[in-house]
């Protein structure tokens, strides 16, 4: 999505795609990757997400994941919920049609 | 239909093996993502919003029953049970795993299908008229030339890293169903004063950020020179096309910046040097390819069979479907059936593996084993005997494929949009569904008549919104999905780009606006006028006034 | 950097001369196009091999008349996705008949070597230790080709027509 607001003060999680499968994945507290957004490691703000992002980028260089980046979230429901619409669709799957929902 | 010989088979097998090696080197880390990305794109593999997407070519939209079944196999074995037919006669699978992509390609290769050059900055899948070879208005079958272009462009060593992608379309009919004026190069088969058939070459059309209707580069090109002329046109583009700015890298910008005369001079000069070289097509070579597309043998069938006439009289649903979805065939006793992939609630262009099998079976029994894919995201059974129409219709209806809406307001083109596409601003599919739902009363839809709505989720214009009678473009307004409407576009022989209606609207207001536009048209139209005709007569103002009056 | 010719790593016997450096009395050197154009007469007279580095936005026509004096031309791939040098290579070989060394420099990667070879290159600067194996593997990946290029390989079309002729004379 074009130029989404940076949302620097929001908590952040880090996402990427698994290299071999292409699955949407999130970085966990123990530096592994999960498909479940609830298990994502949470940084309190963009500033604090640097360490997570550095770890993710290191793993991208080791060809585990592709194209990592930080995603601003809210924690109102307890679990991280992306602020941006695009990231919500990415987390939950397509919103319409045969493929709606998270699949498998 | 074109059938692979041992050369084609071996070439595709070598390509699968080559790509298998590239994938293995990527997974092992020998190739970085930056090095690998253009390689996977040249094999149609994208990394999309959710997963890798594989785009498989359906060259010039012709596919056999066997091939269609194999697409179903891909959907079931490597994906989630369905595929999406695109506006460029390709099919996309949304959840292919990188590590399995070579196996999927090997399965496709078994039946002569591939994903070569369905993406990347190279010559893409050449598209054509979905009625090629059966249309009554055709000068010649354009697929002969599409296949000749396909072979020449496959792994062309000079043109694998062009400034940007390059799309060619060919039409053999004066009634353009291939949108040749909005392609990098469009070829129209024409006759000259001596009654010889050749090509009008149109260049620099396109959509995207800078929509342009193509200009005539050459009024008449003799057939045997097609490849040398294309090579000259591409070489000039490869050398001088801009590479500093991705948005200015298409050939349309080069033609615009040089001017059509200067571009033509360059091409003609280059062509003069190569036209009598190895690319000149010997008559025998043309004949060899043309033989693949020789008209099939049509067993004699009645032109007005009793059961068919009876069904027309007695079954309103069949009669409606016949009026909408069945076109005239050049062979008496036969008809062309368009299968709508726009049934209510279905994302435009999506088909399940079961539907693919059903269409394959019907084609085998009733259409000489042949199916076409249209750029309007529907399928076609090109050779159906009139006498078989009632049974074909029943067979389609059993699989949710008998919507009688071809050319009507619910026959919407929509790109995958934000539900799938990593580049999208807004969703296309739910909007298409809402509009289809709003106009689900068929009497009303019939009253409205031909109206082409085309939706793109971003400025890349995969949904061809610029050439929709009503075009809809998704935009991002402070993180919200908004839509810009354009009116009066057309992709046909009277090609035109739509005019911007006004400020963008949210989803609900967009559906309302379409409704208002339609009502305005109905109140203004003169007898026999389509939406497009009325728009061209009265202009934007009355429509604009009505839509924004309420806001 | 390994230099590949005829599928083998060969010793590099060419140097790249900067525009300021004096012309050495012996040894093969590449000069820039600008220097070639400025000092053409002196350079032509040198009885040691001389080559030109042709930037990828230059028209090969600019050196068409000089080709008899040039032993090598280096074409540049600033990024491997910039494909202008393929057209230059074909023009130099097929249009202007250049028969000296045609060298690929810059971002020269395994997966483009076959395209380069087909376009007329015969020397490659490949920045990896296993350059020779990589080159041979890349060239072996495909054995059939559709386009008639200066590499002289029979195209699929030519093979098809020849086969039909054979069949006919056999019949
Ligand atoms: S138009 Fe934009 S959103 Fe739609 S498929 Fe193309 S790139 Fe994606």
Higher pLDDT pick, B134 / C165: B134
pLDDT digits (tens, 9 = 90+) for B178-202: 999 999 999 999 999 999 999 999 9
Establish whether domains B127-292 and B414-550 are of one fold. Answer: yes
Q: Model confidence over B359-401: pLDDT tens digits?
A: 999 999 999 999 999 999 999 999 999 999 999 999 999 999 9
Say yes or no: C167 contacts chain B, CB-CB below 8 A: no
Which residues are bridge partners to B454 per DSSP?
Answer: B413, B471
At C99-125, the pLDDT tens digits run 999 999 999 999 999 999 999 999 999
Domain of residue A71 covers: 12-92
Considering the domain architecture, whether residues C89 and C126 belong to the same structural domain is answered as yes
| Residue C147 belongs to domain spanning | 143-171
Q: Do chain C and chain B touch with ≥3 beta carbon pairs under 8 Å? A: yes
Q: What does the pLDDT look like over B219-248, one tens digit per residue?
A: 999 999 999 999 999 999 999 999 999 999
**Same domain for C94 and C46:** yes
Cα B466 from Cα B87, distance rounded (Å): 13
Q: What is the CA radius of gyration of chain C?
A: 18
Based on the domain organization, do C31 and C43 belong to the same domain?
A: yes
Ligand 1 centroid – CA B427 distance (Å):
9
For the packed helices B101-109 and B6-28, what is the interaxial angle rounded to 10 degrees? 180
Which residues sit opposite B329 in a β-bridge? B135
Query: What is the pLDDT, as a whole number, of residue C171?
Result: 60
Does residue B128 contact residue B169 with C-beta atoms inside 8 Å? Answer: yes
Measure C88 CA to nearest chain B CA, in Å: 8
Q: Are B54 and B115 in contact (CB under 8 A)?
A: yes
The pocket around ligand 1, CB under 6 angstroms, is made up of B 415-417, 421, 423-424, 456-458, 460-463
The string over B490-519, giving b where at least 16 C-beta atoms fall within 10 Å of a residue's C-beta and e elsewhere, is bbbeebbbbbebeebbebebbbbbbebbbe
Fold for the domain defined by B306-397: Sulfite Reductase Hemoprotein; domain 2 (3.90.480)
Give the percent of chain B with pLDDT over 70: 100
Please state, in angstroms and rounded to a whole number, the distance separating the CA atoms of residues B127 and B178: 7
Asked if residue A100 is part of any domain, the answer here is: no
In the numeric block, which tokens belong to residue A1? 């999505």
In terms of domains, do C70 and C39 share one? yes
pLDDT tens digits, residue range B278-299?
A: 999 999 999 999 999 999 999 9
pLDDT at res. B346: 86
What's the gap in Å between the CA of A90 and the closest CA on chain B? 6
Q: Which atom of ligand 1 is nearest to the CA of B426?
A: 3
Q: Which of B396, B410, B480, B504 is nearest to B449 (CA)?
A: B410
Interface of A with B (CB under 8 A): 1-5, 17, 19-24, 60, 62-63, 66-67, 83-86, 89-90, 93-99, 103-104
Closest to A53 (Cα-Cα) out of A10, A25, A14? A14
How far is residue B140's CA from residue B198's CA, in Å, rounded to a whole number? Answer: 10
CB B124 within 8 A of CB B162: no
> Are B285 and C141 within 8 A, CB to CB?
no
Q: Which helix (H) or strand (E) is B380 found in, with range?
A: strand B379-385
β-bridge mates for residue C123, sequence order? C5, C103
Pairing of strands B453-456, B470-477: parallel
* B506: enclosing H helix or E strand: strand B505-506
The CATH number that applies at residue C92 is: 3.20.20.70
Cα B511 from Cα B436, distance rounded (Å): 10
Same domain, C119 and C52: yes
Helices (H), B280-340: 283-292, 306-314, 316-325
Task: Identify the CATH assignment for B127-292 out of 3.40.190.10, 3.30.413.10, 3.40.50.920, 3.40.1010.10.
Answer: 3.30.413.10
End-to-end CA, chain A: 26
Q: How far apart, in whole angstroms, are the C-alpha atoms of residue B250 and residue B231?
A: 16
A2 found inside a domain: no
Stretch B412-435: mean pLDDT, rounded?
96
Residues A29-48 pLDDT 10s: 999 999 999 999 999 988 88
Number of residues in chain C:
171
Residues C22, C68, single domain; the answer is: yes
Chain B: residue whose CA lies nearest to A7: B479
Name the CATH topology of B6-109: Sulfite Reductase Hemoprotein; domain 2 (3.90.480)
CA distances from C49 to C24, C29, C31, C46, C97 (A): 11, 7, 11, 8, 18
Does the residue A70 lie in any domain?
yes
Residue B363 near residue B371 (C-beta atoms within 8 A): yes
Are C and A close enough to touch, i.e. 3+ CB pairs under 8 angstroms?
no
pLDDT tens-digit profile of B127-150?
999 999 998 889 999 999 999 999
Contact B487, B498 (CB under 8 A): yes
Structural domain tally of chain C? 2
Spatial contact of A97 and B77, defined as CB atoms under 8 Å apart? no
- Give CA–CA dist B199/B172, Å, rounded: 9
Collect all residues of chain C within an 8 Å Cβ-Cβ radius of residue B17: 141
Distance B416 CA to ligand 1 centre (A): 7
Interface confidence: ipTM more than 0.95: yes
Total domain count, chain A = 1
Per-chain mean pLDDT for chain B: 96
B interface test, pick of C87, C139, C141 with most B CB neighbours within 10 Å? C87
Q: State the closest ligand 1 atom to the C-alpha of B461, by its place in the atom list counted from 1.
A: 1
Per-residue confidence at A100, pLDDT binned at 50, 70, 90? confident
Query: What's CA B295's distance to the chain center, in Å?
Result: 23
Where residue B294 falls (left for φ over 0; alpha for ψ -120 to 50; beta otherwise) is beta
Distance CA B158, CA C115 (A): 7
Write out the two tokens for B397: 């209806």
Nearest by CB to B157, from C59, C80, C118: name it: C118
Whole-number percent of chain B with pLDDT over 90: 96
In this prediction, residues C25-30 reach a mean pLDDT of 94
Q: Are residues C26 and C69 in the same domain?
A: yes
Quick check: B218 pLDDT over 70?
yes
Q: Which H or E run contains A67? A: strand A65-74
pLDDT value at residue A6: 60
Query: Looking at CA atoms only, how far is residue C62 from chain B in angstroms?
Result: 14
Q: How many angstroms separate the CA atoms of B102 and B40, rounded? A: 11
Q: Quote the pLDDT of residue A67.
A: 95
Residue B421 alpha carbon, nearest atom of ligand 1 = 8
Q: Is residue A27 part of a domain?
A: yes
Tell me the pLDDT band of C164, cut-offs 50, 70 and 90.
confident
Query: C74: helix, coil or strand?
Result: strand
* Residue A101 pLDDT exceeds 80: no
Q: Are residues C107 and C37 in the same domain?
A: yes
| Helix or strand holding residue B517 (H, E) | helix B507-524
Would residue A101 count as lying in a domain? no
| Crossing angle of helices B353-366 and B65-78, rounded to 10° | 170
Q: Which of B53, B38, B36 is nearest to B416 (CA)?
A: B53
Nearest by CB to A98, which of B29, B350, B478?
B350
Q: Where are the beta strands (DSSP E) in B252-364?
A: 326-328, 334-339, 350-352
Q: How far is the CA of B49 from the centre of ligand 1 (A)?
A: 11
* Residue B86: strand, helix, or coil: coil
Q: What residue ranges do the domains of chain B occupy?
A: 6-109, 127-292, 306-397, 414-550
Mean pLDDT on B334-358: 95
Average of pLDDT values for B65-82?
98
Choice from B86, B165, B423, B474 to test ligand 1 binding pocket (greatest atom count within 8 A of CB): B423
User: Cβ(B340)–Cβ(B326) under 8 Å?
Assistant: no
d(CA A33, CA A26) in angstroms, rounded, equals 5
Q: B282 contacts in C (CB within 8 Å)?
A: 161
Mark yes or no for CB contact A97/B347 under 8 Å. yes
pLDDT at C152 over 90: no
Measure A60 CA to nearest chain B CA, in Å.
9
CA distance B95 to B98: 9
CA torsion B331-B91-B43-B32 (nearest 10°) is 170
Identify the pLDDT of residue A103.
58
The predicted-structure confidence for B452-497, as pLDDT tens digits, reads as follows 999 999 999 999 999 999 999 999 998 899 999 999 999 888 889 9
For residue A5, pLDDT over 60 is answered with no
In degrees to the nearest 10, what's the CA dihedral of B60, B61, B65, B69? Answer: 110
B92 C-alpha vs ligand 1 centroid, how far in Å? Answer: 13
Q: B352, B81 in Cβ contact below 8 A?
A: yes
The topology under which CATH files domain B414-550 is: Sulfite Reductase Hemoprotein; domain 1 (3.30.413)
| Same domain? C132 vs C147 | no
Examine the pLDDT at B76 and tell me if it is beyond 90: yes
The answer on C154 and C121 residing in a single domain is no
């Amino acid at each position: 999505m074009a130029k989404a607001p940076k949302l620097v003060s929001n908590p952040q999680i880090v996402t990427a795609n698994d290299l071999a499968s292409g699955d949407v994945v999130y970085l966990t507290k123990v530096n592994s990757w999960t498909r479940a957004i609830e298990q994502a490691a949470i940084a309190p703000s963009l500033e604090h997400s640097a360490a997570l992002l550095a770890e993710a980028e290191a793993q991208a260089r080791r060809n585990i994941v592709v194209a990592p980046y930080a995603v601003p979230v809210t924690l109102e429901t307890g679990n991280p919920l992306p602020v941006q619409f695009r990231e919500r669709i990415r987390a939950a799957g397509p919103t319409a049609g045969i493929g709606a929902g998270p699949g498998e | 239909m074109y059938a692979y010989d041992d050369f084609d088979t071996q070439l595709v097998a070598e390509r699968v093996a080559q790509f298998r090696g590239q994938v293995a080197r990527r997974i092992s880390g020998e190739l970085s993502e930056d090095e690998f990305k253009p390689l996977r794109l040249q094999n149609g593999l994208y990394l999309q919003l959710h997963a890798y997407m594989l785009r498989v070519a359906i060259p010039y939209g012709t596919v056999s029953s066997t091939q269609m079944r194999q697409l179903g196999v891909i959907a079931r074995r490597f994906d989630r049970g369905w595929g999406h037919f695109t506006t460029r006669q390709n099919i996309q699978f949304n959840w292919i795993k990188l590590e399995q992509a070579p196996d999927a390609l090997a399965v496709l290769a078994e039946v002569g299908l591939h994903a070569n050059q369905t993406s990347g900055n190279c010559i893409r899948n050449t598209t054509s008229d979905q009625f090629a070879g059966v249309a009554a208005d055709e000068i010649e079958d354009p697929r002969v030339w599409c296949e000749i272009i396909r072979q020449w462009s496959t792994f062309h060593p000079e043109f694998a890293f062009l400034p940007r992608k390059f799309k060619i379309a060919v039409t053999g009919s004066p009634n353009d169903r291939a949108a040749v004026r909005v392609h990098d190069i469009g070829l129209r088969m024409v006759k000259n004063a001596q009654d010889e058939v050749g090509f009008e070459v149109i260049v620099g059309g396109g959509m995207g950020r800078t929509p342009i209707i193509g200009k005539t580069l050459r009024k008449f090109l003799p057939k045997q020179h097609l490849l040398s002329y294309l090579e000259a046109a591409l070489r000039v583009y490869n050398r001088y096309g801009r590479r500093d700015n991705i948005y200015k890298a298409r050939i349309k910008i080069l033609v615009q910046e040089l001017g059509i005369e200067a571009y033509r001079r360059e091409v003609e000069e280059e062509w003069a040097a190569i036209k009598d070289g190895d690319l000149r097509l010997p008559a025998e070579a043309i004949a060899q390819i043309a033989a693949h597309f020789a008209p099939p043998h049509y067993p004699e069938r009645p032109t007005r069979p009793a059961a068919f006439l009876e069904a027309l009289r007695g079954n309103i649903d069949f009669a409606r479907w016949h009026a909408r979805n069945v076109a005239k065939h050049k062979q008496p006793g036969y008809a062309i059936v368009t299968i709508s992939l726009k049934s209510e609630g279905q994302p435009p262009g999506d088909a399940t593996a079961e539907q693919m099998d059903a269409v394959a079976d019907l084609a085998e029994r009733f259409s000489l084993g042949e199916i076409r894919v249209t750029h309007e995201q529907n399928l076609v059974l090109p050779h159906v005997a009139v006498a078989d129409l009632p049974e074909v219709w029943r067979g389609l209806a059993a699989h949710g494929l008998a919507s009688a809406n071809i050319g009507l307001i619910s026959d919407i083109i929509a790109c995958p949009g934000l539900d799938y596409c990593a580049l999208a601003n807004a969703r296309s599919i739910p909007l298409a569904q809402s509009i289809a739902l709003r106009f689900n009363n068929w009497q009303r839809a019939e009253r409205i008549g031909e109206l082409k709505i085309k939706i793109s989720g971003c400025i890349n214009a995969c949904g061809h919104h610029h050439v929709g009678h009503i075009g809809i473009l998704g935009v991002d307004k402070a993180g919200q999905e908004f839509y810009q409407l354009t009116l009066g576009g057309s992709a046909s022989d009277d090609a035109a780009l739509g005019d911007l209606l006004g400020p963008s609207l949210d989803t609900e207001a967009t559906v309302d606006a379409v409704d208002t536009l339609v009502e305005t048209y109905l109140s203004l139209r003169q007898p026999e006028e389509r939406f497009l005709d009325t728009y061209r007569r009265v202009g934007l103002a009355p429509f604009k006034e009505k839509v924004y009056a309420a806001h | 950097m390994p230099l590949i010719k005829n599928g083998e790593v060969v010793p590099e016997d060419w140097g790249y001369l900067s525009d300021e450096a004096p012309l050495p009395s012996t040894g093969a050197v590449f000069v820039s196009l600008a220097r070639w154009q400025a000092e053409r007469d002196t350079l032509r007279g040198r009885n040691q091999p001389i080559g030109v580095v042709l930037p990828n936005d230059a028209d090969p026509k600019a050196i068409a008349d000089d080709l008899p004096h040039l032993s090598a031309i280096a074409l540049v791939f600033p990024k491997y996705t910039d494909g202008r040098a393929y057209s230059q290579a074909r023009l130099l070989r097929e249009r202007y008949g250049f028969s000296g060394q045609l060298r690929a420099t810059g971002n020269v990667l395994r997966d483009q070597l076959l395209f380069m070879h087909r376009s007329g290159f015969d020397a490659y600067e490949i920045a990896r230790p296993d350059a020779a194996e990589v080159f041979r593997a890349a060239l072996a990946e495909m054995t059939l080709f559709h386009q008639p290029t200066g590499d002289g390989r029979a195209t699929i079309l030519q093979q098809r027509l020849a086969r039909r002729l054979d069949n006919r004379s056999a019949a």
